[in-house]
Amino acid sequence: MLAPLYPLARRALFCLDAEQAHHLTLATLRGAASLGLAGLVGQTLPESPRTVMGIRFPNPVGLAAGLDKDGSCIDGLAALGFGFVEVGTVTPRPQAGNPKPRIFRLPQAEAIINRMGFNNGGVEQFLQNVQSARYKGPLGLNIGKNADTPIERAVDDYLICLEKVYPYATYVAVNISSPNTKNLRQLQGGDELDALLGKLKDKQRALSDRHGKYVPIALKIAPDLDDEQIKVIAGTLTRHGFDGVIATNTTLSREAVAGLPYANETGGLSGRPVFDASNRVIRALAAELGGALPIIGVGGILSGADAQAKLDAGASLVQVYSGLIYRGPELVRECVQALRTV
Binding residue per annotation — 237?
Answer: no
**157: number of Cβ within 10 Å:** 18
- Whole-number pLDDT of residue 84: 98
Taking residues 208-217, what's their average pLDDT?
A: 98
Distance CA 43, CA 227 (A): 40
Stated pTM of the model: 0.95
Q: Which residues contact 175 (CB under 8 A, 6 or more apart)?
A: 65, 88, 89, 142, 143, 144, 220, 249
Q: Is the peptide bond before 251 cis (omega within 30 degrees of 0)?
A: no
How much of the chain, in percent, has pLDDT values that exceed 70? 96
Q: How many helices (H) and strands (E) does the chain have?
A: 12, 13
At 152, the pLDDT band (50, 70, 90 cuts) reads very high
Higher pLDDT, 92 or 9: 92
Active site residues: 178
Q: 51 exposed, middle or buried (CB, 10 Å; 0-12, 13-18, 19+)?
A: exposed
- Whole-number pLDDT of residue 303: 98
- Whole-number pLDDT of residue 178: 81
* CA angle (104, 90, 271) in 5-degree steps: 30
Q: State the average pLDDT for the chain.
A: 94
Q: Could you report the per-residue pLDDT of 66-78, keeping only the tens digit for each?
A: 999 999 999 999 9
* Continuous segment of H or E residues that includes residue 305: helix 304-313
Binding residue per annotation — 250?
Answer: yes
Distance CA 271, CA 143 (A): 22
Q: Say which range, 138-147, 151-160, 183-192, 216-225, has the weakest mean pLDDT.
A: 183-192
Taking residues 259-263, what's their average pLDDT?
A: 97
DSSP letter for 95, please: B
- Establish how many alpha carbons lie within 13 A of residue 59's alpha carbon, considering only the half-sphere containing its beta carbon: 25
Q: Render the burial of 102-115: b for 16+ CB within 10 Å, e for the rest.
A: bbbbbeebbbbbbb
Higher pLDDT, 313 or 185: 313
Taking residues 55-73, what's their average pLDDT?
A: 97
At 340, the pLDDT band (50, 70, 90 cuts) reads confident
Binding residue per annotation — 67?
Answer: yes
Binding residue per annotation — 183?
Answer: no
- Whole-number pLDDT of residue 189: 74
- Whole-number pLDDT of residue 214: 98
Asked whether 274 and 219 are in contact (CB, 8 A), the reply is no
CATH number for 3-339: choose from 3.10.20.30, 3.20.20.70, 3.40.605.10, 1.10.510.10: 3.20.20.70
> What radius of gyration, in Å, describes the C-alpha atoms of the chain?
18
pLDDT of residue 46 exceeding 90: no
Distance CA 57, CA 315 (A): 14
Distance CA 228, CA 218 (A): 20
Asked whether 218 and 145 are in contact (CB, 8 A), the reply is no
pLDDT of residue 40 exceeding 70: no
Binding residue per annotation — 267?
Answer: no
Q: Could you report the per-residue pLDDT of 100-122, keeping only the tens digit for each?
A: 999 999 999 999 999 999 999 99
Distance CA 329, CA 308 (A): 18
Q: Could you report the per-residue pLDDT of 156-205, keeping only the tens digit for each?
A: 999 999 999 999 999 999 999 888 787 778 877 768 899 999 999 999 99
* Continuous segment of H or E residues that includes residue 174: strand 171-175
Binding residue per annotation — 66?
Answer: yes
* CA angle (107, 112, 114) in 5-degree steps: 150
* CA angle (137, 138, 143) in 5-degree steps: 135
Higher pLDDT, 180 or 222: 222
pLDDT of residue 47 exceeding 70: yes
Asked whether 253 and 224 are in contact (CB, 8 A), the reply is yes
Asked whether 180 and 116 are in contact (CB, 8 A), the reply is yes
- Whole-number pLDDT of residue 39: 62
Distance CA 198, CA 185 (A): 17
Binding residue per annotation — 202?
Answer: no
CA dihedral 224, 228, 229, 233 (to 10 degrees): 130
pLDDT of residue 99 exceeding 90: yes
What are the structural domain ranges in the chain? 3-339
Binding residue per annotation — 175?
Answer: yes
Binding residue per annotation — 220?
Answer: yes
